[in-house]
Amino acid sequence: MIEPFVHSVRNPVSVRPSTEEDVPDMVAIYTFHITRGLEGPYVDPHALEEIKKRRKTMLKRRLPHLVADLDGKVVGYAFAVPFRKRPAYRYTVKHSIYVHHDHINMGIGRMMIDALVDACAAAGYRQMIGYIDGANVASLQLHEAAGFRQVARLPSVGFKYGKWTDSVMMQRALGLGDSAPPDEPTGRMIGREDDPPV
Ligand SMILES: CC(C)(COP(=O)(O)OP(=O)(O)OC[C@H]1O[C@@H](n2cnc3c(N)ncnc32)[C@H](O)[C@@H]1OP(=O)(O)O)[C@@H](O)C(=O)NCCC(=O)NCCS
């Protein structure tokens, strides 16, 4: 079970593990960004079921699925998934983060990324990777500020709003990183032979 986090604060927001009741708010945040923002344009009619399912799968794998909570309202969410399914990659995660469009630039993204990094490190993961649109200055800067470094730029892998877009891969070490072998997993880690597909 992932413990609640309260990261402090340029604002009265707390970051905590998501609950099933938070899913509709997460869908609303996600839908806005994929239909109107740099993540889109895209319509996902299955977002509700997908987010519900992913949330349950990730919790089963001891991967954090967090929300930012402002007076009981979900104003952002962030989660980590396995980087790759094969067991060799079981200590590496990739992540996603979304802040409600009415609440950007208030420090919420930073709170959530810090909480996600802490939660993944505490769960024994050693590397964390984000794929970011090359034009998404806010996300690139946020990740840079949170200790991620650009490790690759994949040119012209996306096509959005009538033009080709790059994807930037940003990575940071968690905990001891590659300076020591991984701890033996204490709980259920990703990448076991019997894992269902993500
Ligand atoms: C990217 C996103 C998560 C940032 O969240 P946020 O809550 O607005 O960011 P914060 O206010 O916590 O800012 C933290 C740092 O990020 C950087 N940053 C955030 N917005 C920025 C912007 N518009 N331009 C440049 N840097 C920015 C700054 O370094 C900032 O630190 P500072 O305020 O001390 O300068 C948010 O804009 C978002 O949800 N965007 C749409 C979805 C998305 O693109 N998700 C990421 C997919 S990879």
| pTM metric for this prediction | 0.89
> What local confidence, expressed as pLDDT, does residue 190 receive?
56
Check pocket membership of 31 for ligand 1, CB cut-off 6 A.
Answer: no
Percent of the chain past pLDDT 70, that is, above it, reads 84
> What local confidence, expressed as pLDDT, does residue 36 receive?
79
Containing H/E element for 176? none
Q: CATH fold of 13-131, please?
A: Aminopeptidase (3.40.630)
Lowest mean pLDDT among 15-19, 59-63, 116-120, 192-196: 192-196
The Å distance, Cα 167 to ligand 1 centre, comes to 17
Using alpha carbons, select from 73, 58, 82, 69 the residue that is nearest to residue 9: 69
The residue with greater pLDDT, 162 or 171, is 171
Lowest mean pLDDT among 4-18, 86-100, 180-194: 180-194
pLDDT in tens, 147-170: 999 999 999 999 988 899 999 999
The Å distance, Cα 106 to ligand 1 centre, comes to 9
The Å distance, Cα 140 to ligand 1 centre, comes to 8
Check pocket membership of 37 for ligand 1, CB cut-off 6 A.
Answer: yes
Check pocket membership of 9 for ligand 1, CB cut-off 6 A.
Answer: no
Give the torsion through C-alpha atoms of 115, 107, 100, 67, to 10 deg: 20
12 contacts: CB under 8 Å, gap ≥ 6: 70, 71
Q: Taking a C-beta distance cutoff of 8 angstroms, is the pair 105, 75 a contact?
A: no
> What local confidence, expressed as pLDDT, does residue 9 receive?
47
pLDDT in tens, 102-153: 999 999 999 999 999 999 999 999 999 999 999 999 999 999 999 999 999 9
pLDDT surpasses 80 at 38: no
